[in-house]
């Protein structure tokens, strides 16, 4: 985690994690993080993902060149094969167009928007049960 957002794990009830324990068929083993050469506060953190995201949003909002808008993106606005912005719906149902030199689409693994940009072959390379 870069130091700019390290404090986003503060005040969200994040728990220090020093490794993992694996349990199977009545047997168990420990996988410790190699922390010997680091400062005593260096450790993993286990936290509620939503709280962490909210902390990062709050932090981003403090930057002078950032303005947060909330809404559901209904479509990307394309001009001559290039994405020029997007159209989104606010909580009150108002449809707004926003334009930008760069549009970053990050609407998750069930993305509807990505489908209009490419034909992704989604793979599930790993499963982790915690």
Contact 109, 122 (CB under 8 A): yes
Applying CB under 6 A, which residues contact ligand FAD?
A: 49, 72-73, 106-108
Q: How far is CA 100 from CA 77, 87, 93, 104, 115, in A?
A: 10, 12, 22, 10, 20
Return the number of the residue (64 or 108) whose C-beta is nearest ligand FAD. 108
The rounded distance, in Å, linking the Cα atoms of 89 and 87 is: 7
The rounded distance, in Å, linking the Cα atoms of 26 and 23 is: 7
Return the number of the residue (25 or 128) whose C-beta is nearest ligand FAD. 128
Give the shortest CB-94-to-ligand FAD separation in angstroms: 14
Helix, strand or coil for residue 77?
Answer: strand
Return the number of the residue (64 or 125) whose C-beta is nearest ligand FAD. 125
Give the shortest CB-100-to-ligand FAD separation in angstroms: 15
**Which residue, chain included where needed, has tokens 């794990």?**
9
Give the shortest CB-73-to-ligand FAD separation in angstroms: 4
Report which residue's Cβ sits closest to ligand FAD. Answer: 108
Return the number of the residue (91 or 119) whose C-beta is nearest ligand FAD. 91
Give the shortest CB-105-to-ligand FAD separation in angstroms: 9
């Amino acid at each position: 985690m870069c130091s700019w957002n390290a404090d986003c794990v503060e005040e969200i009830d994040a728990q220090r994690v020093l490794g993992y324990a694996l349990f199977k068929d009545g047997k168990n083993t420990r996988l410790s993080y190699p922390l010997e050469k680091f400062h005593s506060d260096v450790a993993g953190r286990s936290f509620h993902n939503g709280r962490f995201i909210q902390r990062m949003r709050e932090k981003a909002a403090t930057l002078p060149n950032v303005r947060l808008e909330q809404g559901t993106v209904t479509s990307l606005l394309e001009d001559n094969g290039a994405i020029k912005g997007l159209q989104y719906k606010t909580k009150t149902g108002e449809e707004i167009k926003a334009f930008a030199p760069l549009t970053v689409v990050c609407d998750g693994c069930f993305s509807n928007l990505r489908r209009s940009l490419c034909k992704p072959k989604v793979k599930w390379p790993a499963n982790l049960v915690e």
